[in-house]
């Protein structure tokens, strides 16, 4: 589902409010140059992530799903000096592109890219200092498991954001698509968990019809 006006409004918002941010055009060029999928968050959504990290005052950020590091850079820019971000990426080729982009953005000393299946990486993070902010944007099939791990790695007051919770509206017909079913299961987990206070917002724009779920750990 897409209407041309959604893109026009998105472009208007981007150039009026976001202006890419330093280095962001280079990140998008690196995605195209590497033949990677154009599934990064929209600039408006990236800046929302930065603002949410800032509002939370998050010093420890966890990202599940790095791709080329576009959202990683927005998240890292929201942290105060001394902040640390851990990001999980399955594919070494994507992690290499992301590392170059993060270094070019001057954030290499604050960001730690972990290559491998995120569930394996997350298991190694147990017992460390808790995270203040978690962004989940990887394979949708593991969303419920990522939420459970996020709960294990945070404490009350932490913020959890999940991308792609509308998935072109296919969440209304979970039988049509296993990812839609997994996204719906994650939303239902968020709604039912006594440890989470959650909502979701729909977005329409350059990424079609989609949205973010946002939750606070109780
Ligand atoms: C896809 C994944 C994403 O995280 C996204 O934001 C958009 C699309 C995908 O796998 O198609
Ligand atoms: Mg996404």
| Ramachandran assignment for 7, one of left (phi > 0), alpha (psi -120 to 50 degrees), beta (any other) | alpha
Return phi, psi of residue 52, to 5°.
-65, -40
Mean of the per-residue pLDDT values of the chain: 96
Distance, CA of 73 to CA of 64 (rounded, Å): 13
Q: Which domains does the chain have, with CATH numbers?
A: 4-217 (3.40.50.150)
Atom 2 of ligand 1, residue of closest alpha carbon: 39
How far apart are the CA of 211 and the centre of ligand 1, in A? Answer: 11
Taking alpha carbons only, the member of 113, 189, 115 closest to residue 145 is 189
> What was the pLDDT predicted at 185?
98
Chain centre distance of CA 155: 19
Average pLDDT of 154-174? 98
Q: What is the pLDDT of residue 67?
A: 97
Q: How many residues belong to the chain?
A: 218
Digit-coded pLDDT (tens) for 66-109: 999 999 999 999 999 999 999 999 999 999 999 999 999 999 99
Q: Where are the alpha helices (H) located in 135-201, listed in sequence order?
A: 143-152, 178-192
Residue closest via CA to ligand 1's atom 6 equals 39
Residue 151's pLDDT band (cuts 50, 70, 90)? very high
Instruction: List the residue whose alpha carbon is closest to atom 8 of ligand 1.
Output: 39
Q: What are the φ/ψ torsions at residue 126 (nearest 5 degrees)?
A: -55, 140
Confidence of residue 19 (pLDDT cuts 50, 70, 90): confident
Q: How far apart are CA 80 and CA 132, in angstroms?
A: 12
Rounded to an integer, what distance in angstroms lies between the CA atom of residue 217 and that of residue 36? Answer: 33
The residue whose CB lies within 8 Å of the most ligand 1 atoms, and thus the one to mutate among 2, 36, 37, 170, is 37
**pLDDT of 2:** 78
* Residue 20 confidence (pLDDT) above 80: no
Q: Please give the model's pTM, rounded to 2 decimal places.
A: 0.98
57 alpha carbon to ligand 1 midpoint, in Å? Answer: 28
**pLDDT for the residue numbered 163:** 98
Q: Whose CA is nearest to atom 9 of ligand 1?
A: 39
- CA separation for the pair 22, 50 (Å, rounded): 14
Q: What is residue 23's predicted lDDT score, i.e. its pLDDT?
A: 79
């Amino acid at each position: 589902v897409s209407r041309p006006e959604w893109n026009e409004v998105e472009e208007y918002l981007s150039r009026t409010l976001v202006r890419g941010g330093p280095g962001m055009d280079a990140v998008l060029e690196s995605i195209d140059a590497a033949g990677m999928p154009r599934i990064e968050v929209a600039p408006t959504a990236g800046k929302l992530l930065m603002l949410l990290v800032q509002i939370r005052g998050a010093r420890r950020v966890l990202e599940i799903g790095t791709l080329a590091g576009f959202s990683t850079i927005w998240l890292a820019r929201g942290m105060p000096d001394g902040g640390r971000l851990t990001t999980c990426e399955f594919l070494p080729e994507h992690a290499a592109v992301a590392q170059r982009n993060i270094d070019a953005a001057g954030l290499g000393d604050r960001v730690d890219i972990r290559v491998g299946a995120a569930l394996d990486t997350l298991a190694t993070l147990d017992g460390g200092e808790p995270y203040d902010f978690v962004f989940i944007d990887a394979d949708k099939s593991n969303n419920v498991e990522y939420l459970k791990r996020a709960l294990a790695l945070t404490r009350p007051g932490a913020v959890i954001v999940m991308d792609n919770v509308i998935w072109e509206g296919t969440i209304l017909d979970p039988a049509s698509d296993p990812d839609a079913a997994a996204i719906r299961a994650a939303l239902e987990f968020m709604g039912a968990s006594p440890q989470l206070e959650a909502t979701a917002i729909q977005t329409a724009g350059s990424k079609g019809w989609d949205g973010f779920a946002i939750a606070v750990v109780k």
